[in-house]
Amino acid sequence: MSTLKVDTILKRTGTGTISIGQSGDTVDITSGSTLDLTGTTVSGLTGAGKILQVQTSTYATATTTTSSTLAATGLTGSITPSAATSKVYISLTFRYGASRPNNGNKDDGYGIRITSGAGTVLDYDNSGTAMYFLRDNAVSQDTRNIITITGIDSPSTTSAITYTIKHAAYQGAGVTGTFCRDNATATLTLMEIGA
């Protein structure tokens, strides 16, 4: 086996395609090496749909709201896509609580919205997809649930993106919504998916 040591490989004259190996060969990038494609255009790879990176953020402080105006819960997460064509898969798992005193026969709600600098990414607030809990027979209620919300964002950028989790309480008077009820840990997972 021969070893060729060089610093730079250029086409003999002008510019164009430089071929490495031939049909049937395997070009191996040895363990511990880094293939740096920064600033290059890569074509023909079969990485479409593959997970390119995963970023995870957690938050474990109970945060309450009694307002129908969306407010930050305290949980954020950031990711920097490696290509403008990548998608970002978003998964949010959290425990919420929603409570209110005796207030008659009403449907009350607790809503979640995930935003980025570009605006709303996932909307589970009072736009028709709110997570409602039923108030009936004029009985006070205290609801607690653990749920997961998922979705896909197409940010079309290679700049850092920060996703912010917001919440609000809706409808019946006296509703209190709590993110991370009982200080249960909420997890926001961001995955870059190759286009």
Q: Residue ranges of the domains in the chain?
A: 51-193
- Alpha carbon distance 20, 67 (integer Å): 63
Nearest to 142 by CA among 91, 103, 195: 103
- Alpha carbon distance 108, 100 (integer Å): 9
Which stretches of 13-165 are DSSP H helices? none
Q: What integer pLDDT is reported at residue 110 of this predicted model?
A: 87
Token pair for 9 = 């490989």
The string of pLDDT tens digits covering residues 98-148 is 887 766 666 677 889 999 998 899 888 765 555 666 555 556 778 889 999
The string of pLDDT tens digits covering residues 16-32 is 788 887 888 887 777 77
Q: Residue 61 above 90 pLDDT? A: yes
This model's pTM is above 0.85:
no
CB atoms near residue 78 (< 10 Å) = 13
- Alpha carbon distance 132, 98 (integer Å): 9
What residues contact residue 17 under an 8 Å CB cut-off, 6+ apart? 11
| The CATH fold of domain 51-193 | Jelly Rolls (2.60.120)
